[in-house]
Every structure is written in C-alpha cells, then in structure tokens.
Amino acid sequence: MKFDTPAGANPIDRMKVVGKPTDRIDGKLKTTGTAPYAYERHDVVPNQAYGYVLGSAIAKGRINRFDLAEAKAAPGVLAIVTTLDMPRLKRGQQNIAYLFGGAAIQHYHQAIAIVVAETFEQARAATALIRVDYARERGRFDLATEAKTAPLFGGSSGEGSSAPPIERVGNFEGAFEAAPVKVDSVYTTPDETHAMMEPHATIAAWEGEKLTLWTSNQMIAWSKGDVAINLGISPKNVRLDSPFIGGGFGGKLFVRSDAVLAAIGAKAAKRPVKLALSRPIIANNTTHRPATIQRIRIGANRDGKITAIAHESTSGNLPDGKPETAVSQTKLLYAGENRLIAMRLAEMDLPEGNAMRAPGEAPGMMALEVAMDEAAEQLGIDPVEFRIRNDTQFDPEDPKRRFSQRQLVECLRQGATRFGWSRRNPKPAQIRDGRWLVGMGVAAGFRNNLLMKSAARVRLDGRGIVTVETDMTDIGTGTYTILAQTAAEMMGLPIERVVVKLGDSDFPVSAGSGGQWGANNSTAGVYAACVKLREQVAQRLGLTGDVDFTDGQVRAGGRSVALADAARGGELVAEDTIEYGDLDKTQQQSTFAAHFVEAAVDAFTGEIRVRRMLAVCAAGRILNPKAARSQVIGAMTMGVGAALMEELAVDKRFGFFVNHDLATYEVPVHADIPYQEVIFLDEVDPMSSPMKAKGVGELGLCGVGGAIANAVHNATGIRVRNYPITLDKLL
Ligand code: MOS
C-alpha cells in the first residue's frame, strides 16, 4: 500500500482497541522469566557447545602470532579460531569496525579469537590460556586533542546527505555580531555505553550451507544482509530469529561479533555454538555513543527573538565512521533568519561510535537547551516564554516545508501550568530546603519522525484467530501489543483473538526497531496487510459495498456473518507493505515535548537529586498510552543518567573504556527517580501513516539532560557545560 496522501477516516479511528492503555500481551512471559531470550534458547537446536570471545589487549597495531598450545590442551576445548586463521572479513553495510579476521587491530577488545568448549566455564578458562604476541602502535584516543585538526564532515545532515559541509542560511556572522544579546558557549558530552540488560548473545547452527542465528537484534533484515556479507555467503542461506530482546538502545541495531564468531565457531567445531559477549567485552567490542564537543552561538534582539543561531559539533570515530549528529535538532527547532550548522569528524582509534538512545538529538539537545537557558537568562525573559517566542511552524532552513504537526508551544504551556512553573524563582540559588538548594529547569523536547517502509503478513484461521507475522522486533518497547491492537482493530476482534509473531527473518521485512520509527511504521504495515485481508474476507463471504468488521462479525447490506466463517474453507493469508511517497519531503515530521525538572543540590556536598520530572509530549496518535508512558519514563530515566552519571572513562594512554561493567558505569536506579509524570497531548497526524501516530520513545529522552542542567543552575547559580554534571563540578 502506497501512503502518499494525508490519511482519511479508516477503521483505526474507531479506537476500540487502539489507543487503549493495554497491558503487554508478552508481559506474563517476561515477568515469569519464560520469554525466550537468545542465550536461553536451549531447545532450538540440540548439542549446543559454548563459545567465548577473546578481545585484543591493545587498541592499535598488529598481531604477530598466537601461542595456542595451552589453550588447545585445556579440558573440554573443541575448537579455537583466531583472527590470523582467516583474512579480514568484509564489512557489512552497517559496520564501521571490522568484526574479525586479519592481523590488524583497530580498537581495544576487537575480537581476535573464539574458543569453543563443552561448557561455558571451560571455554572461558581456555580463552585465558591463549598467549598473544602483539606489535602495539600509538593511537589517537583524546577527542579534545584530535578536535583541533578535525576536518569538516561533508553534509551535516549525516549519511547520504548532499548538503554542503557548512550549512548556512542568511548571514550568521553579521547577524551574530550585530545582536545585542549573545551566547557563545562550548558544551561537552562524554562517550557513553548502551548498558542494556541483556548482553549481545547468539546461538549459531549450520545445516550444510544454511546458517541459523538465534540472536538479539533490533534490525533483522539489515543484520541478515550484513552477516551474509561478513561471512561471504548468500543472504538466502542466513536466517535470524530474535523474538525477544532484553534492551537494545541502538547497541543491537547491527550485527556484532557475537553473531559472526558464533557462526565461525560453529563451523569449526561442527556443533551449534552459543555465545554471549561478557559484560566487560561489550563496552569496547561493540559500539558506543561518541563524545562530542559542541559550540553554540545564539544572537537575539532585546525583545527575545533569535536573529542568529549556530551549532557546530565535533566527534570522533574509526576510519569510515560517522559523526554524532548532535546538530540535527538545531536545524529545525527554533526560528531565526541567520543560521550556521557544521560537524567535524576526527579519525580516532577508540571503539566504533554508533547509534545510541536517540543518536544526535539526545546529546545535541543537552547543549542547545542549555544555550537557550543562557540566552533567556541574559535577556531576562522566562525560559518557557523565550522558547515560545522563537517557535516556528515551518522548517527555518526551508520555509516551504511546514511541520505536519507542531505543538511545542502547547507542550510548554501545559507543562508550565501542571508543574507549577510560576513558583520558580528566576534568580538562581534562592530556594533553600534544609541543606538542599532547590531549582527548576525546563527544556524543549524534539526528535524527528522517520517514515520507513514496513511489511507484514496476516492470517485468519477457521477458529477466528488472526496471526500477524513480521520481522519487526520488540526491544522492550511494547511492539507485540501495539501490533495486536492494530490487527484487532482492523479485523473487529478483541485483542485476545490476535497472535503476534516477530523477529524471524523468514517473515516479511518490517521497519525494525530504531530511531523511534518502529511503532508508527510497523503498525502501518500491519494495517496495510489487514486492509488486504478484509478484502479477501469480504470476497470469500460474498459481501460487497461498505463492509463493517466489528465484534467478530462482518456486516454488509443487512447481512452479518462471523469472521471465522470466512476461513472455514481454508486459511486466508494476506501480505502487504506500507510504503511512503514523498510526503516527508514536502512536510517536516517531528515530535515535540516539554521537559520540566525540579532538582535539589546539597549545599555542602554538591550531591544532586532529581526530585520531580514532567514530560508533556505531542507525538501523533498514542497507540497504547500505557506502553507509551513506559517508553517515556524509561527515556526520562536515561536523561537523568546522561545528565548526572553516565560516562565512559577513556584511558588516553592505552585507548580503552575503563569502566566497562554495570558496577562502574553508573546508570540511575529506582532511588534516583522519585517522581515522574507524563502527559500526551491529544494529537493525530494524518501525514505520518494510516495510523496517524508518530514515534515517542526517544522523544522522552531528548531535552531531559538540558532541563536537569538548567534546574541545577537555577538551584545553585552554577552553569555546568561539561556532562555528566557530577558533584565535583559544583564545588
Ligand atoms: Mo535507536 S539508538 O535508533 O536503537
């Protein structure tokens, strides 16, 4: 189904099932520990052996030789494959780092060997007996140093963009120079790791030429293609199966060494191999969010209108890598006639930088929204009001492109009322609660809404059960439930009559889970398949004209037939893909929020406690308010992590992330998050898809860090521009 015009009325608008705060249909499996996660799939294939990955102990250089004598002689060892046993594997389309093969070392903990043994303990013990002779070279590990010579990255819009390296509108320098009020600040965000609960894990089995990977992966079709490229085999011979994912956060968008080495180990051992990357390996072996250095300049006139705005961001990555696109929201969020956007990319020898939890906007908003607070402070204008004055209903770089929906002002206004913003003292460091200094901060929330083609298959059987099959994934987001709601709504059934099967590469190719595009696109794919199924049902039942599907009945022209009757003569199967024309080229689709935070800072120790958080979100139709709220409060929690805790410590001598486990990489716990509230504005976006929905998960993160930094400033008068805001920066 091609969707290239605004959606008219359709069965989803009835909102009998869609739009209800429905419990997760997979909730019981998860809370009883019976959902089959990759490493626990003991039953999918017999005779599983265990793999263990050895990571490089140097960050750059070469391997001269391995001494495997002791490891080979260790109990239970079935096979050892080292990186010298094969040429460097081709990179997949989504890979930046090389995953295995050859003598060259690109980054610390690059996979250099796999040991396969009868038990996990034997594999791990034997791995420790491998001796490696390295030739170490000097590497580039310090972003601040490399930033000085980092070249401009061609096309600030990111991959595939034809935009010039520096995007300009009007005359930024002239307007900034002339502005009576100016902010010119530099902000830094650190390297961060996804820290998802479930490690990267795969069980690999070969059946002749055919490889099956039971794995944990957000983007099944991408990864099927890439694993085929990595291993030099036909994608026809690769199957991925990933029905449950214990958190991805972007770290499982791409196939990583667990999948590739499990496949290589299984071939060598002639046994299925089960492999999980150990927690200490994950931080340096997989991907991370790269650190940024961001300079923002805002020039405004006295009445609070932005006249000039510039955002430049520098980050680092391995050769052929991409920058963290921290500038992207600044292209769209606020009005202003004179603009400048640029990114610089330093080539570095740290592990691969790639997508993590709202890549681009998450760290970008942590800078922009503090710069906005600084400008408002200088102007003596309330920061809510300053943002409202600089709202725009069209793309400020291209006024012909209007936002399909943009309710930022309404988010800010409702949020301010709800949060009690009028009680905020605009003068910092005035409010005392015992030993605590208390302050409030606000930030806008912004994240784009991306349209991705997405397919699904739906079946109707003679019992009246509808089964949905798509390679879409559920990374803890609630996909199972919203797809079931969609099919139930379309076919006029209660949700209990719908079965959803996900994550198998034998199913139709979906949008996958990433960039908050999963919900709107994958439900739209199910919608498209259901439209076809409805046609088949009507045809089978001989119903014409206006056919209504409600309460398990199909009605037309005064006749009413049970839906199940349509499949008595044999199952009905329909498959379709939602595809988008040029809608998002002529319209800008984005999601908006206002984030409010109250923070308290211990006047003596500098300890920072977030006391209250509120997010008001405008993100199209909310398909399942309960699941959406869970997404947003989870994202807000990540915002607390980013603002106050999360930081990979770089060892700048040896080039690795030191705090590579959950004991030393701090993330918020329940005690850090006393109170969160989420409000969704009533919105449908007829431009987004027949579902009229948009993404919401990452929106919940983008802006939170800035709101916290602004609250800390309001509490203390201290402006911290280097994240995370740890207590030492307040003393
Ligand atoms: Mo998200 S970082 O695109 O999985």
* Ligand 1 centroid to residue 622 C-alpha, Å: 20
Q: Which atom of ligand 1 is nearest to the CA of 475?
A: 4
Evaluate: CB of 356 within 6 angstroms of ligand 1.
yes
Evaluate: CB of 515 within 6 angstroms of ligand 1.
yes
Does the global pTM surpass 0.90? yes
Indicate whether 219 belongs to any domain. yes
**Closest residue by CA, ligand 1 atom 4:** 250
* Ligand 1 centroid to residue 474 C-alpha, Å: 13
Evaluate: CB of 247 within 6 angstroms of ligand 1.
no
120 and 257 share a domain?
A: yes
**Per-residue confidence at 701, pLDDT binned at 50, 70, 90?**
very high
* Ligand 1 centroid to residue 513 C-alpha, Å: 7
Evaluate: CB of 199 within 6 angstroms of ligand 1.
no
* Residue-wise DSSP of 80-101: EEEGGGSPPPPPPTT-SS--S-
45 and 122 share a domain?
A: yes
Q: Which atom of ligand 1 is nearest to the CA of 514?
A: 3
Q: Which atom of ligand 1 is nearest to the CA of 356?
A: 2
253 and 386 share a domain?
A: no
CB atoms near residue 242 (< 10 Å):
28
**Per-residue confidence at 583, pLDDT binned at 50, 70, 90?**
confident
Interatomic CA distance for residues 467 and 602, integer angstroms: 55
ipTM for the complex shown: 0.97
Per the prediction, the chain carries an average pLDDT of 97
* Percent of the chain residues past pLDDT 70, beyond the cut: 99
Domain boundary among 582, 601, 628: 582
Give the max Cα distance, the chain. Answer: 82
pLDDT at 156 over 80: no
DSSP-H helix ranges across 8-104: 27-31, 69-73
565 and 678 share a domain?
A: no
Domain boundary among 222, 256, 275: 275
Q: Which atom of ligand 1 is nearest to the CA of 218?
A: 4
462 and 415 share a domain?
A: no
Evaluate: CB of 638 within 6 angstroms of ligand 1.
no
Helix then strand count (H, E) for the chain reads: 16, 33
671 and 637 share a domain?
A: yes
537 and 552 share a domain?
A: yes
pLDDT tens for 194-238 read 999 999 999 999 999 999 999 999 999 999 999 999 999 999 999
Residues 6 or more apart whose CB falls under 8 angstroms from that of 421 comprise 384, 415, 440, 442, 596
**Per-residue confidence at 585, pLDDT binned at 50, 70, 90?**
confident
Indicate whether 699 belongs to any domain. yes
Evaluate: CB of 218 within 6 angstroms of ligand 1.
yes
Indicate whether 144 belongs to any domain. no
pLDDT for the residue 163: 55
**E strand segments, 581-719:** 587-588, 590-602, 608-618, 650-651, 656-657, 676-680
What is each CA distance from 693 to 226, 521, 523, 619, 647, in whole angstroms? 30, 9, 9, 7, 34
Residues 6 or more apart whose CB falls under 8 angstroms from that of 309 comprise 172, 296, 297, 298, 299, 330, 334, 336, 338, 339, 340
461 and 432 share a domain?
A: no
pLDDT at 157 over 70: no
CATH number for 119: 3.90.1170.50
Cis peptide before 724 (omega within 30 of 0): yes
pLDDT tens for 319-357 read 999 999 999 999 999 999 999 999 999 999 999 999 999
* Percent of the chain residues past pLDDT 90, beyond the cut: 97
Indicate whether 53 belongs to any domain. yes
* Ligand 1 centroid to residue 709 C-alpha, Å: 24
Nearest CA among 39, 499, 480, 507 for reference residue 240: 507
Evaluate: CB of 492 within 6 angstroms of ligand 1.
no
Q: How many domains does the chain have?
A: 3
Domain boundary among 558, 582, 606: 582
Helix (H) or strand (E) holding 204: strand 201-207
Q: Which atom of ligand 1 is nearest to the CA of 357?
A: 2
pLDDT at 511 over 80: yes
Indicate whether 177 belongs to any domain. no
Which of 219, 356, 447 has the most ligand 1 atoms within 8 A of CB, as the residue to mutate? 356
545 and 610 share a domain?
A: no
**Per-residue confidence at 584, pLDDT binned at 50, 70, 90?**
confident
**E strand segments, 208-348:** 210-215, 238-241, 273-276, 292-300, 306-317, 338-347
Interatomic CA distance for residues 637 and 701, integer angstroms: 8
Evaluate: CB of 248 within 6 angstroms of ligand 1.
yes
* Ligand 1 centroid to residue 520 C-alpha, Å: 15
Active site residues per annotation: 698
Which of 357, 474, 638, 699 has the most ligand 1 atoms within 8 A of CB, as the residue to mutate? 357
CATH number for 469: 3.30.365.10
Residue that is written with structure tokens 């919900």 in the block? 519
Q: Which atom of ligand 1 is nearest to the CA of 253?
A: 4
Evaluate: CB of 251 within 6 angstroms of ligand 1.
no
542 and 495 share a domain?
A: yes
**Per-residue confidence at 151, pLDDT binned at 50, 70, 90?**
very high
Indicate whether 731 belongs to any domain. yes
Q: Which atom of ligand 1 is nearest to the CA of 252?
A: 4
* Ligand 1 centroid to residue 156 C-alpha, Å: 19
Evaluate: CB of 701 within 6 angstroms of ligand 1.
no
Evaluate: CB of 645 within 6 angstroms of ligand 1.
no
Q: Residue 499's domain spans which residues?
A: 2-35+451-582
Evaluate: CB of 253 within 6 angstroms of ligand 1.
yes
Evaluate: CB of 687 within 6 angstroms of ligand 1.
no
Determine the residue type at 284: N
Interatomic CA distance for residues 18 and 12, integer angstroms: 7
Sort residue 477 into left (φ over 0), alpha (ψ -120 to 50) or beta.
alpha
Which of 253, 328, 638 has the most ligand 1 atoms within 8 A of CB, as the residue to mutate? 253
Indicate whether 729 belongs to any domain. yes
What does the buried/exposed string (b/e) look like for 15-52 if buried means 16 or more CB atoms within 10 Å of the residue's CB?
ebbbbeebebbbeeeeeeeebebbbbbeeebeebbbbb
pLDDT at 159 over 70: no
Find the mean pLDDT for residues 536-546. Answer: 96
Evaluate: CB of 360 within 6 angstroms of ligand 1.
no
pLDDT at 54 over 90: yes
Say if residues 396 and 170 touch (Cβ distance below 8 Å).
no
* Ligand 1 centroid to residue 219 C-alpha, Å: 10
pLDDT tens for 274-314 read 999 999 999 999 999 999 999 999 999 999 999 999 999 99
* Ligand 1 centroid to residue 355 C-alpha, Å: 6
27 and 108 share a domain?
A: no
* Ligand 1 centroid to residue 249 C-alpha, Å: 5
Say if residues 529 and 574 touch (Cβ distance below 8 Å).
yes
pLDDT for the residue 582: 85
93 and 219 share a domain?
A: yes
* Ligand 1 centroid to residue 218 C-alpha, Å: 9
Q: Which atom of ligand 1 is nearest to the CA of 359?
A: 2
* Ligand 1 centroid to residue 680 C-alpha, Å: 22
Indicate whether 195 belongs to any domain. no
Helix (H) or strand (E) holding 538: helix 518-541
**E strand segments, 283-397:** 292-300, 306-317, 338-347, 394-395
Interatomic CA distance for residues 721 and 435, integer angstroms: 24
pLDDT tens for 101-144 read 999 999 999 999 999 999 999 999 999 999 999 999 999 999 99
Evaluate: CB of 196 within 6 angstroms of ligand 1.
no
